């Protein structure tokens, strides 16, 4: 049967690259994002094998309503919890509790909400799988000033382990931990392109990652990693 992959944050960056990869592999994709313009671009470029909708995945009611509009013909069989933000850079002493709520709402709470909706609406598939997008920041604490982001990604990895135990053997659940990937979200971390390039020189593979690098790993976890669950796969060019 044809797989249908629901991808949150699917309009750009890593999410869009994953959509490109799964459609190229013969699956269909449902993209949820808050960027209506980029969603429309994805629909135009991917054609009949993609459906798009503007959805705030941190809003439980909005997620339930969007899932209810999908219909049986497009019931998802696979899920990628990719939606996420880095948030504002702040030293620990100045962290705003409202920013903690905002970052955790998008990076962690949304994974609970969307996964619940997916489990209630999904169609059976012999290779059913969920991939959560974490970060190497979950293990190394992230850049200075990004403690909230790092903590949220650590929480997402713990959720991955819990999901893998609870949903086995019907659904495999794994996480990806990208390093520095050359996407627009890095503008929230680096001051300018020169700083990004300087950081690239410190990576063992001597380059920043590309969204396609992460998408390739995601496609493997979604469709080909038949005996892999409860794992975190690092895609960082050797950066720790």
Q: What integer pLDDT is reported at residue 191 of this predicted model?
A: 54
3-state secondary structure at position 10: coil
- Domain presence at residue 235: no
Radius of gyration of the CA atoms of the chain, in A: 17
Q: Which domain holds residue 127?
A: 4-230
Q: Structurally, how many domains does the chain consist of?
A: 1
Q: Which amino acids are annotated catalytic?
A: 149
- Domain presence at residue 237: no
Q: What is the pLDDT along the chain (240 residues), one digit of tens a residue?
A: 899 999 999 999 999 999 999 999 999 999 999 999 999 999 999 999 999 999 999 999 999 999 999 999 999 999 999 999 999 999 999 999 999 999 999 999 999 999 999 999 999 999 999 999 999 999 999 988 999 999 999 999 999 999 999 999 999 999 999 999 988 766 556 556 777 777 888 899 989 999 999 999 999 999 999 999 999 999 999 888
3-state secondary structure at position 56: coil
CATH number at residue 62: 3.40.50.720
3-state SS string for 124-179: CCCCCEEEEECCCHHHHCCCCCCHHHHHHHHHHHHHHHHHHHHHCCCCEEEEEEEC
Q: What integer pLDDT is reported at residue 186 of this predicted model?
A: 62
Q: What is the pTM of this model?
A: 0.94
- Domain presence at residue 238: no
Cα pseudo-dihedral 102, 53, 62, 217, rounded to 10: -50
- Domain presence at residue 50: yes
């Amino acid at each position: 049967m044809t797989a249908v992959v629901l991808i949150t944050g699917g309009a750009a960056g890593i999410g869009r690259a994953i959509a490109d990869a799964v459609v190229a592999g013969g699956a269909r994709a449902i993209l949820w994002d808050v960027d209506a313009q980029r969603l429309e671009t994805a629909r135009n470029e991917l054609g009949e094998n993609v459906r798009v909708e503007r959805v705030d995945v941190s809003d439980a009611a909005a997620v339930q309503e969007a899932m209810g509009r999908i219909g049986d013909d497009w019931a998802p069989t696979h899920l990628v919890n990719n939606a996420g933000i880095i948030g504002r850079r702040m030293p620990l002493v100045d962290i705003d509790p409202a920013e903690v709520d905002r970052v955790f709402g998008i990076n962690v709470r949304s994974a609970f909400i969307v996964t619940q909706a997916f489990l209630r609406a999904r169609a059976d598939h012999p290779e059913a799988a969920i991939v959560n997008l974490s970060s190497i920041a979950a293990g190394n604490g992230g850049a200075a000033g990004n403690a909230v982001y790092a903590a949220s990604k650590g929480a997402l990895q713990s959720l991955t382990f819990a999901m893998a135990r609870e949903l086995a053997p019907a659904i495999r659940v794994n996480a990806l931990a990208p390093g520095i990937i050359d996407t627009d979200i890095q503008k929230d971390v680096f001051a300018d392109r020169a700083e990004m390039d300087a950081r690239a020189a410190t990576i063992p593979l001597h380059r920043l990652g590309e969204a396609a690098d992460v998408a390739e790993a995601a496609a493997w976890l979604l469709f080909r990693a038949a005996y892999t669950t409860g794992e975190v796969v690092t895609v960082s060019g050797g950066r720790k």
